[in-house]
Amino acid sequence: MAARQIYFDNNATTPLHPEVKKEMVAAMEMFGNPSSMHAYGREARANVEDARRRVAGFMGADESEIVFTGSGSEANNTVLSLFVCSSALCIPGSRQTIITSKIEHPCVLETSQCLTHRGIDVKYLEVDRYGKVDLQQLEEHLKAGSVGLVSVMMANNEIGTLQDIPAISEIAHRYGALMHTDAVQAFGKVPVNVDDLGVDFLTISGHKIYGPKGIGALYVRKGMPYCPFIRGGHQEKGRRAGTENTLGIMGLGMAVDMRAIEMEAEEVRLQGLKDMLRKGIEERIDDALFNGHPTDSLANTLNVSFPGAEGEAILLYLDLAGIAVSTGSACASGSLDPSHVLLATGVDAERAHGSIRISLGRDNTVEDVEYMLDVLPGVISRIRDMSTAYIKGGVHASAR
């Protein structure tokens, strides 16, 4: 291991907040099944419901509108599966079209694609060079009248771009469609209020906000269509079968409490670190091309391309120096395909291959950024020196 270890991959996952860890260690003693009627069960139930209240409160929802799930991916699958469930409560047969965007997380894109084999039509919204969805195109698709659901993520996991969810919800509702947002990356980083956003469904995940992995939640507005994605139990008021992950739920509840206390000041601090990083890269490395929206973006996320340097090589050299970044989303790493998000913003495959994502978190300091700015220029020039593809100020300059 390198002498210094810096974790800059907080969009992949975050370390547990110390308070979350404390809560979960204490909770390990509490093994009762929340569905049991005896004292052990009642204690577990009380803790699960307490966490539900805290999660609901932080997004301005009623506790009855929160369904705990096994992950953000499961919550997203649950919403999309409303098209193909057998209950009378599923999305009506006259509205068998989904509108989503080209830059969604794979758990939305692949599930939507899968639904096309069940007769569902899927429309993918284009995004501009900064990753903002095309609202005019949204309206054009909605005019067809057959759209049951619009699902657009609130913040992108690779480039950090934030969408105008209130505007998208308003347009969707004007044409009678329901509105879902995947807020896995936004929740706990920017204010999320379900009424201000105007959404009918909203997804969150524990491990992106210093909570545990394997726990997510779906907000379901009162009166919305709903079918369980996992069946065979009365848990979550019949909305998600399976004995509740009490540890995960309590950890999520505490993670949300900590975000409520820390988020505002922390996001200002992270924006400062990101600005410092961006400025330092611009000053010290030739031809660095930044991806995503310059201002309407998560404070912690910086995505940058270095023409003539492969993202994987950058990642490995940085890893040797003790710095952890990613080449895109954690889910896509290991894939040799260029990022679908960057391609959708109009970036060419070569530039997409030369990009890294630096995602900051609550443990990062000014010293971490300084160390990164000391190490990165050497890494890029070493890789570029070995590359025949790089001409300073050359091939990719037009892509700025």
Ligand X SMILES: Cc1ncc(COP(=O)(O)O)c(C=O)c1O
Residue from 73, 161, 181, 300 binding ligand X (CB under 6 A): 73
Q: Which lies closer to ligand X via its Cβ, residue 23 or residue 158?
A: 158
Of 6, 17, 34, 72, which lies in the binding site for ligand X, with binding defined by CB under 6 A? 72
Give the gyration radius of the chain's Cα atoms.
22
User: Which of 305, 312, 342 shows the shortest CA–CA distance to 326?
Assistant: 312
| Cβ nearer to ligand X, comparing 184 with 281 | 184
**How near is the Cβ of 208 to ligand X at its closest, in Å?**
7
- When asked if residue 205 is in the footprint of ligand X (CB under 6 A), the reply is yes
Q: Please state the closest distance from residue 352 (CB atom) to ligand X, in A.
A: 18
Catalytic-residue membership of 227: no
Shorter beta-carbon distance to ligand X: residue 329 or 345 = 329
CB of 323 to ligand X, least distance (A): 20
Q: Considering beta carbons, is residue 69 or 96 the nearer one to ligand X? A: 69
At 92, list the tokens: 């009506």
Q: Is the Cβ of residue 146 or residue 333 nearer to ligand X in the bound state? A: 333
Residue with the CB atom nearest ligand X in the bound state? 72
Among positions 66, 115, 153, 197, the unique one binding ligand X when judged by CB under 6 A? 153
Residue 351 and residue 305 in contact, taking contact as beta carbons nearer than 8 Å: yes
Binding pattern for the stretch 296-335 against ligand X, x by CB under 6 A and - elsewhere: ---------------------------------xxx----
User: Applying CB under 6 A, does 212 fall inside the site for ligand X?
Assistant: no
Q: Footprint of ligand X on residues 50-69 (CB under 6 A)?
A: none
Query: Any contact of residue 157 with ligand X (CB under 6 A)?
Result: yes
Among positions 9, 23, 65, 182, the unique one binding ligand X when judged by CB under 6 A: 182
Interaction between residue 105 and ligand X (CB under 6 A): yes
> Is 107 near ligand X (CB under 6 A)?
yes
Distance CA 131, CA 129 (A): 6
Of 182-190, 243-251, 289-297, 356-364, the window that binds ligand X (rule: CB under 6 A) is 182-190
Compute the least distance from the CB of residue 119 to ligand X, in Å: 25
Q: How many alpha carbons fall within 13 Å on the CB side of residue 217? A: 37
Rounded (10°) angle between helices 311-320 and 366-386: 130
Q: What are phi and psi of 9, to 5 degrees?
A: -130, 45
305 with 355: CB under 8 angstroms? yes
User: How many angstroms separate the CA atoms of 141 and 148, rounded?
Assistant: 11
C-alpha span between 153 and 161 (Å, rounded): 10
Which of 85, 90, 114, 331 is flagged as catalytic? 331
CB of 161 to ligand X, least distance (A): 11
**Residue type for position 174:** R
Q: Which is nearer to ligand X, 69 or 235 (CB)?
A: 69
In the complex, least distance from residue 383 CB atom to ligand X, rounded to whole angstroms? 27
Q: Output 332 or 380, the one with its CB closest to ligand X.
A: 332
How many residues sit close enough to ligand X to count as binding (CB under 6 A)? 15
Other beta carbons less than 10 A from residue 366's beta carbon: 11
Give Cα 137 to chain centroid, integer Å.
Answer: 23
Window contacting ligand X (CB under 6 A); options: 1-9, 70-78, 225-233, 251-259: 70-78
Closest C-alpha among 206, 189, 164, 176 to residue 55? 206
Binding ligand X by CB under 6 A: which of 131, 188, 216, 253? 216
Task: Identify which range of 15-23, 181-189, 230-238, 259-267 contacts ligand X by CB under 6 A.
Answer: 181-189
CA 297 to chain centre: 13
**CA 167, CA 173: separation in Å to the nearest integer?**
10
- At its nearest, how many Å lie between ligand X and the CB of residue 330? 6
CB of 247 vs ligand X, minimal distance in Å: 16
Number of C-alpha atoms within 13 angstroms, CB side, residue 141?
A: 27
Residue ranges binding ligand X (CB under 6 A): 71-73, 105, 107, 153, 157, 182, 184-185, 205, 216, 329-331
For the annotated catalytic residues, the residue numbers are 331
